[in-house]
Amino acid sequence: MTIRQPPPSFDLIDEPWIPVTIGGRQREVSLREALLDGHRIDALDLSDPLQSVALLRQVLLPVLLHAEGPARNRQEWKERWDRHALDADRINAYLDDRSDRFGLFDPVRPFAQVAGLRAAGGETRPVSLLILSLSSGNNVPLFCARTEAEPPDLTCSQAARALVTAHCWDTAAIKTGAVGDPRAARGKTTGNPTGPLGQLGIVVPLGNTLARTLVLNTRILSGGHRRGDRPQWDARAPATPRWEKGLAPRGLLDLLTWQSRRIRLVPTVLSDGRTVVREAVLCAGDRPDGTDPTLEPHTRWRRSEKPRAGRPERTPLRHPPGKDLWRGMTSLLALREPDGDSCSTSLLLRQLADQQAGWHAVEALRVDVLAVGAVYGNQSAVVEDVMTDRLPLPVAALDPDSETHEFMIDLVGEAEELCRAANTLGNNLRAATGGDPIPWDRGERLGDRLVHRFAPVVHRLLAGLLSSPDRVEDAVTAWRDAAAGLADGLLEEALTGASPQAFTGRGGSERPGMTSSRAEIKYRAAVRDVLGTPAGPGPRVRADAPGAPHPLLPPATGTRS
Per-residue model confidence (pLDDT) at position 359: 58
pLDDT > 60? residue 255: yes
The structure's pTM equals 0.88
Task: Please give the backbone phi and psi of residue 172, each rounded to the nearest 5 degrees, phi first.
Answer: -95, -160
pLDDT > 50? residue 227: yes
- Taking residue 270's Cβ as centre, other Cβ atoms within 10 Å add up to 12
Vertex 91 angle, CA 78 and 18, to 5°: 100
Pair 169, 195: CB distance under 8 Å: yes
Mean pLDDT of 517-532: 92
Per-residue model confidence (pLDDT) at position 271: 85
CA 67 to CA 253: how far, in whole Å? Answer: 11
Residue closest to 394 by CA, chosen among 488, 469, 339: 469
* Residue 135 identity (one-letter amino acid): S
Domain with residues 403-531, CATH architecture: Orthogonal Bundle (1.10)
Pair 486, 450: CB distance under 8 Å: yes
E-strand spans in 336-395? Answer: 343-344, 367-377, 382-393
pLDDT > 50? residue 313: yes
As a whole number, the mean pLDDT across the chain is: 85
Mean pLDDT of 396-404: 87
Vertex 517 angle, CA 513 and 518, to 5°: 50
Domain positions in the chain are 18-197+218-288, 300-305+313-395, 403-531
Residue closest to 164 by CA, chosen among 130, 136, 116: 130
DSSP 498: S
Per-residue model confidence (pLDDT) at position 203: 95
DSSP 519: H
Mean pLDDT of 173-181: 90
Give the confidence band of 543 by pLDDT, cuts at 50, 70, 90.
very low
pLDDT > 70? residue 4: no
Pair 297, 347: CB distance under 8 Å: yes
> 504: number of CA atoms within 13 Å, CB side?
8
Which residues partner with 344 through β-bridges?
Answer: 301
β-pairing verdict for 287-288 and 245-247: parallel
Which residues partner with 198 through β-bridges?
Answer: none
pLDDT > 70? residue 334: yes
Give 69: exposed, middle or buried? Use CB within 10 Å, 0-12, 13-18, 19+. middle
DSSP assignment string, 157-222: HHHHHHHHHHHHH---EEEEPBTT-TT-BTTEEEEEPPPGGGGS-EEEEE-SSHHHHHHHTPPB-T
- Taking residue 190's Cβ as centre, other Cβ atoms within 10 Å add up to 14
